[in-house]
Amino acid sequence: MASAFRRAAGGGQAAQAAQSAIASFTVAAPLEAADAQPPGGEAGQRFLQVTYAPARYCDDEVLFCAVQDCNAQQALQEQLRSAQQATEAMMRVRAAFFAAMSHEIRTPLNALLGNLELLARSAGMEACAPRLKVLDTAAESLRRIVNDVLDFSKIDAGKLRLVNEPFRPIDAVESLALTYAPMVAGRAIRFHLYLSPSLDVEVIGDRTRLVQVFNNLLNNAFKFTASGRITVSGDIRQDELGTQRLVCRVSDSGIGTPPSLLARAFQPFVQGDAVSASRYGGTGLGLSICARLCELMGGNIAVDSVQDVGSAFTVSIRQRRWNRRRRSIRGAAM
């Protein structure tokens, strides 16, 4: 005990006690032969917590010390550390499993989709066109689920890497909107696109992941809207700190979200009731992936929704302008 106290004092803890009035340290003291093994302690050791403070006794400066047996506390901390390590190891194994399985499933699935497309273009297959369309739709839905699981496992494992390249936001959003325009045919839905001229500028970012966020939001809007209106709007604006931000809003007049689910909308595996989940399908990962991608890109996503009225999702992403002249000068200097 005395040697441990001298080490603590030599390490500056005695000086700290003089300044902060009270200090403490924990020491593993060896057991005497006559002592019984304490519960939770390691073999041959007893954990003691020493608390001390400066005081005056008979006009002399002394240290007041209190020694407490803390074997139970030490054992509990060790159990907590072991449980945390086991949980982290289990999460790593789970993420690796999902990533590996998603890759294994996606490879033959892409081959299936490719052959279905070739089969649909073959001569004499007109009579089978409706069945081939159903197969293609089902396979595409399965691929979307596999991609969601793969992306979620990558993000969860911290292995998703963003690519910073120049692109024009107006081209990215317009191209995506054009792929959804044919889905309006035969449905009582009006699809509107309002894009500000401020989007017609080159910025630095990950176009693929940005389009993935908007694609997920538009897919949900068309999935949950039987009639009414779907609107996409976007612009680049400055926030209160002077930072350029891409702000895009996807709104619909679909089924909306009940208040009980709204607060958990961006948590993984969150879906509506059993009837809605069975009717609309999905994994419940889409919005969670959107939220995490927005965070990785330095932004956020928010939702306003009223049940049986509609929903509006607003995405705000920090953007950096692409300075072509500066890059050219830098390239010439190199």
What is the tens place of the pLDDT at every residue in 215-265? 999 999 999 999 999 999 999 998 888 888 999 999 999 999 888 888 888
**End-to-end Cα separation, the chain, in angstroms:** 65
Higher pLDDT, 31 or 67: 67
Are the C-beta atoms of residues 195 and 174 closer than 8 Å to each other? yes
- Its pTM stands at 0.63
**Residue 152 to residue 95: CA distance in whole angstroms:** 9
Compute the chain's Rg from CA coordinates: 31
Distance from C-alpha of 332 to C-alpha of 201, rounded to nearest angstrom:
24
The string of pLDDT tens digits covering residues 170-218 is 999 999 999 999 889 889 999 999 999 999 999 999 999 999 999 999 9
Phi and psi angles of residue 121, each rounded to the nearest 5 degrees, phi first: -90, -5
Q: By the 8 A CB rule, do 328 and 210 touch?
A: no
Instruction: Report pLDDT digits (tens) over 80-110.
Output: 999 999 888 887 777 777 667 766 777 787 8
The answer to whether the beta carbons of residues 203 and 298 sit under 8 Å apart is no
Give the mean pLDDT of the chain. 80
> Reduced to 3 states, what is the DSSP secondary structure of residue 98?
helix
Cα–Cα distance, 131 to 207 (Å, whole number)? 35
- Cβ atoms 284, 274 nearer than 8 A: no
Question: In terms of Cα–Cα distance, which of 273, 266, 259 is closest to 309?
Answer: 259
Tokens at 329, concatenated: 């000068």
Separation of alpha carbons 143 and 118, rounded Å:
18
Strand 310-318 and strand 299-306: the pairing is antiparallel
Q: What percent of the chain has pLDDT over 90?
A: 31
Distance CA 323, CA 307 (A): 45
CA dist 144 → 102, 141, 230, 281, 289 (Å) = 11, 5, 22, 12, 13
